[in-house]
Amino acid sequence: MADAPTPIMFAIVTTNKEAVHGGMAPVFVAADEPERDRIAMWLCRITNCIAHDLHNGTIILTVNQASV
Amino acid sequence: MSSSGGPIDWSPMIIGFAAGFLSRLISIRTGRSHYPGFPSGYISQLALAIIAAMIGSSVIVALVGKEFTAATFLTLAATQFRDVRSTERKTLEQEEELILVSRGAGYIEGIAITYEARNYLAMLVALVTAVATQYTGIVIGLVVGIIAIVVGEIYMSGPKIGDMIEVEPAKLHFEKGSLLYVGDVMMMEVGLPHSRDRYQKEGMGVILTPKGRRGQSVLWNIAQRQAISHEAAAAVGTQKDVGYPEQTPLCRMDMPKGSGRAGLSILPVESNMQALIQAIKNTPVLEAGKWSALTSPILRRKEMD
């Protein structure tokens, strides 16, 4: 608890395909921002993860032990 | 077989028992937040209180009656109270996974220690009172019993957050699009527009400002802040469920600045600022939070003096 949590990037949702490259997390490409937010929220509710907006068209979803 | 010959004087035992039991009863009433408020929880505590007071008060009678075997057995019985702490801890730890805002390990340990210590206190009060009654008579025994209860009560009621930390309401707002702030304390990044809306419409925030060095060292303790979040959520409720982790109540330090203040953000069920502030002020200061008062370099900052 007192240690820094280890966030695990779970998925990436983006409208800007150029800004992300694939890694361990799947990339979901959305057509526009409302669509992106909808996908991000959907994934959050399903997997109990947290969305973080990088403000470059990309939302990352992380699983963060300390915030659960 | 009693070897003392004469009739046994029961008064030390009776007065000692009454004092010990009373001391435990008082802490059941005042320590409400520490206990499960179910009848079964109270019954098990009352039963332990009776046993503890019984042990404490009968030791002296056994010793005076030269029943050393009995006295030894009573001390053996007293050691059984060690298990009380681990039982209480286990119960609370199991509950931890079932509640939305966890108490945190520090708070649980604090509750378990208090729970155990109160039984020992009842025993001690009973013992002191019984000894006084045995050697000085009933009247002085009664007086000593009352003094023991009062002293024990003062000793056992630890400091509260309100004693060393100022709690004030503050406005929730977002900066840079998605950073949640309480007053000027940054809390977290909320990525979902839906959750941001909800925070803006229904969220509540308070700022915790330490009154001095002690208060600041208390706030820097993460277990303490988890306990505060738990008490806050218990008081006004929290709009959180499985799958909504970003709506969890948070208590975070004013971090890039390190000013020693903390913010608390919560999505309450009942928007009652008075109840929220009162609950935070009544949160007990954890023992785990007491150690760092002298060692933390941040406490030597000038603005805190």
Tokens standing for residue B19: 């004092």
ipTM of predicted complex: 0.76
Name the amino acid, one letter, at B185. Answer: V
Containing H/E element for A61? strand A58-63
Highest mean pLDDT pick, B185-189, B212-216, B297-301: B185-189
A65: helix, strand or coil: helix
Task: Please state, in angstroms and rounded to a whole number, the distance separating the CA atoms of residues B279 and B225.
Answer: 13
Residue A28 — left, alpha, or beta (φ > 0 → left; ψ -120 to 50 → alpha)? beta
Radius of gyration of chain B (CA): 24
- Report the first-to-last Cα separation within chain A, whole angstroms: 11
B137 touches chain A (CB under 8 A): no
| pLDDT band, residue B205 (cuts 50/70/90) | very high
Residues of A whose CB is below 8 A from B245: 44, 48-50, 64, 67-68
Structure confidence at residue B241 (pLDDT): 79
Tokens standing for residue B233: 């959520």
β-pair type (B179-182, B172-175): antiparallel
For B244-281, write each residue's pLDDT tens digit: 888 888 898 887 777 788 999 999 988 889 989 998 99
Residues of B whose CB is below 8 A from A48: 242-243, 245
Q: B253 has which bridge partners?
A: B262
Structure confidence at residue B291 (pLDDT): 54
Tokens standing for residue B145: 């019993």
Residues of B whose CB is below 8 A from A53: 177-178, 189, 191
Say if residue A66's pLDDT is above 60.
no
Asked if B296 and B116 count as a contact pair (C-beta separation under 8 A), the reply is no
| pLDDT band, residue B289 (cuts 50/70/90) | low
A43: helix, strand or coil: helix
Domain boundaries, chain A: 8-67
| pLDDT band, residue B30 (cuts 50/70/90) | low
| pLDDT band, residue B206 (cuts 50/70/90) | very high
The three state secondary structure string of chain B is CCCCCCCCCCHHHHHHHHHHHHHHHHHHHHCHHHCCCCHHHHHHHHHHHHHHHHHHHHHHHHHHCCCHHHHHHHHHHHHCCHHHHHHHHHHHHHHHCCCCCCCCHHHHHHHHHHHHHHHHHHHHHHHHHHHHHHHHCHHHHHHHHHHHHHHHHHHHCCCEHHHHEEEEEECEEEECCCEEEECCEEEEECCCHHHHHHHHHHCEEEEEEECCHHHHHHHHCHHHHHHHHHHHHHHHCCCCCCCCHHHCCEEEECCCCCCCCEEEEECCCCCCHHHHHHHHHCCECCHHHCHHHCCCHHHHCHHHC
Residue A31 — left, alpha, or beta (φ > 0 → left; ψ -120 to 50 → alpha)? alpha
In this complex, do B193 and A37 lie within 8 Å of one another by their Cβ atoms?
yes
Task: Please state, in angstroms and rounded to a whole number, the distance separating the CA atoms of residues B57 and B50.
Answer: 11
* Interface A:B, Cβ pairs < 8 A: 54
| pLDDT band, residue B85 (cuts 50/70/90) | confident
* Segment B285-304 mean pLDDT: 56
Containing H/E element for A10? strand A8-14
CB neighbourhood size of B300 (10 A): 10
Say if residue B159's pLDDT is above 60.
yes
Residues of B whose CB is below 8 A from A2: 222-223
Task: Please state, in angstroms and rounded to a whole number, the distance separating the CA atoms of residues B253 and B163.
Answer: 19
Q: Which residues of A touch B (CB under 8 A)?
A: 1-2, 37, 40-41, 44-53, 55, 59-60, 64, 67-68
The residue among A44, A54, A61 with the most chain B CBs within 10 A of its CB, best to mutate, is: A44
